[in-house]
Amino acid sequence: MHQMPPSLLFSKALLLATGLLSCAIGFANEASLSSDTQETITNSEVVSDEALNKQNTKSSLNNPNAALVAMAFKFNRIDGSPNTYTEVVANYCKKARNGDADALFALAWMYENGKGVSADKSVAVQLYTKAAEQGHSSAQQSLARITGVQATSTLPTCLLPDPPVAKASTLDANSTAEERKAVSEKTAALFYSQRHILKLVNKLAPRYKIDTNLAMAFIAVESGFNVQATSVKNAQGLMQLIPETAQRFGVKDAYKAEENIKGGLAYLRWLLAYYKGDVELVAAAYNAGEGAVDKYKGVPPYPETRMYVKKIANLYNNITHPYQDNLVKASIIHDFPKKKTM
C-alpha cells in the first residue's frame, strides 16, 4: 500500500483546518482572544494532545483563528509536521508568501497574540489587511475589531521576495572582485518592499544586461515606485519617460509597468554604452539629457541634476557598470579629463 508523504498529509491537514475554521466562524460572536483562553505553551514547547484539546474546547468558538492554528498541531505525530508555534509560523509563512488568504489570516493572528513570534499588532494589521483585500471576511472582522493601530510598512522577513541580482560584476566577467557591494542592506530592504515591481525588473533587466539594483535605484528616484506618476514636464510612469524618449524606445503606453521598464532599461543600456559605464554621467544624462552632459563635459551645474546624481549614488554604490561595446559611438566626454563635480 502506497504511503502518503508527510508533507502532503500536512497540506491536507491545513485544508481541513481551513474548513473547520469556516464552520467555527459561523458560530463566533467575536473573533477575539480573551485572557482566560490564552495558553501557557511557549514557543519551544511541544504541544501535547491535552493542551490541544484544552485549546479547542475553551477557545475555538470564540476565536476561530486559534482553531486553525490548533488544527496544525493535531498531526504532530507525522514526521515533518510542526511541533511548536515557531514551526507553525514557518509553514504559514510559506503559504502566505504565495498570497494564500487563510495563511495570511492565521499568521496575522499569531503576530497579534505572540504565538511563535513576538507580538506585534502593527504587523498583524498589515497581514489582516492583505487577507481582507482578497475578500477574507474574518480578516475584515479582525480589522474592524483592532482600532488605533497602524499597519507596518515593512513585511515580515519570511514574506519578502527573492533578492535581486547581487551585484553588477555578475554581468561581466571582466568586473573586479574588489567591486563594492552594489546596494546597502537598507536599500535592499526598500527594493524588497516593492515586490511586484522587483519581480518585473528581475525578469527584464538581464535581457538588457542591466544590474537589477541599478534599475531599481532609477525607479526609486524617478517615481518612488508609482506606476501612474506624471511630472510637470509630462515624464510618465515608473521610469518617468518623456513622450520623446518613450517613442525613441518603442514604448506605446508609458503607464503600463512592463512597457515602461523596458523603455527605461533600453535607455539605460544606451547611456551606459555612450558613457562607457560611468554611472554618474548616466544618471546626469537620464535627468538632464545627454546633450547637457556633453555640453558641460560632465555633470551639468544644475542643482536639480546634481541632487539627482547624489540620490542615485546613495542607492547604488558602484561608480561603474558593465556596458556593451559598439552599441553606440562613445561620448566625446571621454576624450577630456573628467571634471570634479561634487
Give the residue numbers annotated as catalytic, written as ranges: 222
Helical H runs in the chain?
A: 6-27, 49-59, 64-73, 85-97, 101-113, 121-132, 137-145, 185-192, 195-204, 212-223, 243-248, 257-274, 279-288, 290-296, 303-315
Residue 236 dihedral angles phi and psi, to the nearest 5°: -125, 145
Residue whose entry in the numeric block shows the C-alpha cell 496544525: 72
Rounded CA separation 218/199 (Å): 16
The Cβ of residue 171 has, within 10 Å, a number of other Cβ atoms equal to 18
Please report, for residues 3, 119, 215, 254, 269, the alpha-carbon distance to residue 262 in angstroms, rounded to integers and kept in the order given. Answer: 49, 42, 10, 10, 10
Closest CA to 74 of 10, 132, 167: 10
Residue whose entry in the numeric block shows the C-alpha cell 471576511: 137
Say if CB 336 and CB 281 are below 8 A apart: no
Q: Which residues on neighbouring strands pair with residue 69, listed in sequence order?
A: none
Residue 328 dihedral angles phi and psi, to the nearest 5°: -145, 165
Rounded CA separation 41/64 (Å): 18
Closest CA to 56 of 42, 37, 34: 37
Closest CA to 95 of 177, 22, 20, 11: 11
Closest CA to 235 of 320, 308, 302: 308
